[in-house]
Amino acid sequence: MDVTAFNPTAAGAAGGLVSTTADLSRFWRALQRGELLRPAQQAEMHRTVLADSMQDFLPGLRYGLGIFWLPNRCGGFWAHPGDVPGTSTFNGVTAAGDRAVVIYRTTGLADPGAGDALDARAVQLVDDVLCG
């Protein structure tokens, strides 16, 4: 499907942000370092519940206020994926905010199985970067 003329602001705030991967990485690091929220607000954001509907794809995934916690081989990381037609992001940041990575794709796959495999690979890439 050609999404050239699609206006991502149709998704509200989810598609209304214009940024770069470097900006998003800087945002994630600042958020985790406590530079953007008061301590009580940050603690509330980090209070999570098990994301039941996603356990088949990402075992142990937990969700807080707009942020996911994914356990991994070096402890875990905070993230929030997102997509609108024609574009997709996946990112992660360590709990201390010392490392962050953002993956940005400008394509979607018609085959759901291939799309699931691509999403799984994105999670693995983030894990690899954050665990060094």
| Predicted local confidence at residue 88, as pLDDT | 83
**Position 68 pLDDT exceeds 90:** yes
pLDDT in tens, 14-58: 666 678 899 999 999 999 999 999 999 999 999 999 999 989 888
- Whole-structure pTM over 0.75, yes or no? yes
Please state the domain extents for the chain. Answer: 8-131
Beta-strand ranges (E) seen in the chain are 49-50, 62-63, 68-70, 77-79, 82-84, 87-93, 100-105
Percent of residues, the chain, with pLDDT higher than 70: 97
Per CATH, the architecture of 8-131 is what?
3-Layer(aba) Sandwich (3.40)
